[in-house]
Amino acid sequence: MAIKLSDHFTLRRLFKFVFPSIVMMVFTSIYGVVDGLFVSNFAGKEAFTAVNLIYPFIMVLGAVGFMIGTGGTAIVAKTLGEGDSKKAKEYFSFLVYATILFGTIIAIAGIALLKPMAQLLGAEGIMVDYCVIYGRIILFALPAFMLQNIFQSFFVSAEKPQLGLFVTVAAGVTNIVLDYLLVGVLPFGLTGAAWATAISQCVGGIVPFLYFAFPNKSALKLTRTRVYPKVLIKTCSNGMSELLGNVSMSLVSMLYNFKLIEVAGNDGVAAFGVIMYLQFIFVSIFIGYAIGSAPIISYNYGAGNENELKGVFRKSLIVMVASGVVMTIASFLLSGALSKVFVGYDMELYNMTVRGFKLFSGAFLACGVNIFASSFFTALNNGVISAVLSVLRTVVFQVLFVLLLPMVWGLDGIWISSPMTEIFSAVAAVVFFVAMRKKYNYM
């Protein structure tokens, strides 16, 4: 029997409901890692470094999709909880059409800015060409990538998380197969990897669009709608933390790259790229849980079901803390084996990556609590607090520590800056949880 947002969520039922979202995000991270794996081993260290230089810029442009997906899901799920399914479908349709329009405009602007941005980020000579080649192809699929991001959230609100998982797996398999064919078998190198990613993003964005465009058995469907300026503003307000989080993480990644080039040269950038790929696999579990649980929170908030809200909040914190401990231990123990898959061909780079990942692994202890906190307040339609938490975590603390700690510990200071950021961010999250408990009655 399908699980409804209106159901009572025991821990087992909660796991069952969010599990497809977790697997979806893990699979998304894995096929992104496979892309980097093929580039590193078949296109070479220079191409791999170029991808890691330009990718944060691409993610900045695609962050609007995360904002609309998370912010819009909070509104649509809350509207469903209030019992107005017709209005929920209209809001959903308007936000999907707006995403297509914004994605097209942003992609055109991004393509025009690629070369100067690559140079600004520190690329020189052939590295600039690599950045432009890879970036142009990826940006071609940006509207589809943004649709993929919003549908990952809306599938949960539509009470079809398993279908969202199926689409993600289909996109991931497409990327992996094309990576193997275009990079591993055929000598297309960096260009082949870019096309593999772009085509897979088209699968991830267009397939769910077609599903919602035709009659279906979900709670949502694309229908005729009108422009809802207030809904768009509220969506942006709700999802501002996710936008700021993704933009700031990309900007901070650029800052990391600058510091790493200064302290350790191009090998430092390559090592950081490997750590970020591996980090995304671990963090995707937290992100998947946040995506899967957010509509439950929004629905029960809209329905005024405080007991259910308290239960989901309490269970979620337990899951985040326990998962953080397990991931910290696992990442520390597996750092050598995982790093070897990417850069085992270069012993100096390998040793740098292993040490960096071991020092970085402490970040997972508090990371889950921080991701859930931001998602939780977004789901409650409180974009302001969510944005504050996101900015503290991804801008204020990150920038502070990545600038200060290397002065004391050099390269190790760069790796340690992430665990320090997560610890300070968790303290801020707990402060807001306590401060807002009476307003929303979740404790």
Give the pLDDT score at 327.
94
* Residue 224 CB contacts under 8 Å (≥ 6 apart), including other chains: 93
Give the pLDDT score at 91.
92
How far is the CA of 398 from the CAs of 181, 282, 394, 414, in angstroms? 39, 19, 6, 10
Give the pLDDT score at 31.
67
pLDDT tens for 12-54 read: 999 888 988 888 888 777 766 777 778 877 877 778 778 877 8
pLDDT tens for 339-393 read: 888 888 788 889 999 999 999 999 999 999 999 999 999 889 888 898 899 889 8
Does 416 have pLDDT greater than 80?
yes
Does 195 have pLDDT greater than 90?
yes
Tokens found for residue 293? 């649980």
Give the pLDDT score at 329.
95
pLDDT, mean of residues 93-104: 93
Q: If you ran DSSP here, which 8-state letter would residue 400 be given?
A: H
pLDDT, mean of residues 183-192: 86
Tokens found for residue 3? 């699980």
Quick one: which of 417, 425, 413, 439 has its CA closest to 374?
A: 425
Tokens found for residue 192? 């082949």
For residues 44 and 173, which has the higher predicted lDDT (pLDDT)? 173
Give the pLDDT score at 60.
78
Note the pTM of the prediction, 2 decimals. Answer: 0.76
Tokens found for residue 82? 């209030």
Helical H runs in 82-188? 85-120, 126-140, 142-157, 161-179
Give the pLDDT score at 72.
86
Is 76:158 a contact under the CB 8 Å cutoff?
A: no
